[in-house]
Amino acid sequence: MSPLFGNREQKEADIAAAKAEADRLAALSPAELAVDVMPAFGPGGPKASQSYGINVLQIGMALVKDTPRGASELKELLDPIRESLQVLEHAELITRSTGREGGTWYKATRLGETALAEGSVQTYVDKRT
């Protein structure tokens, strides 16, 4: 197979792995997924494309890092991610804002940064109710 056109079998394997991970994440409760989402706001997370923070798509891409461009698996995760972001907001770990150009952006609060550093995100998520 010519490297010019890539490895079709590898791409199919990557898509299958991304689907499995997306299915696993989508099966989590919003609170469980929130704990998986929160590291996207840490130092290893996506870089803010706006001064307002990061958006849902960036968070999804951070969760399923090996998803090939154009894969539909990420689209299926967007609503569960939004639900998990609501949990994180209620736990006061993130804030939400709207940019002048439109779109919704999320940023860790000081409490969220502390929870990430301490590894205590689960504790704050559990306290939210």
pLDDT higher at 65 or 22: 22
In tens, the pLDDT along 8-56 reads 887 788 778 878 888 899 999 999 999 999 999 998 888 876 677 999 9
Taking the C-alpha atoms of residue 91 and residue 49, their distance in angstroms, rounded to an integer, is 24
pLDDT of 96 higher than 70? yes
The pTM score is 0.84
Residues 6+ apart with CB under 8 A from 58: 40, 46, 49
> What is the domain-level CATH number for residue 104?
1.10.10
Domain region containing 38: 3-127
| Nearest residue to 112 (alpha-carbon basis) of 98, 128, 99, 101 | 128
Taking the C-alpha atoms of residue 50 and residue 26, their distance in angstroms, rounded to an integer, is 27
- If one counts the domains in the chain, the total is 1
In tens, the pLDDT along 67-86 reads 665 556 778 899 999 999 99
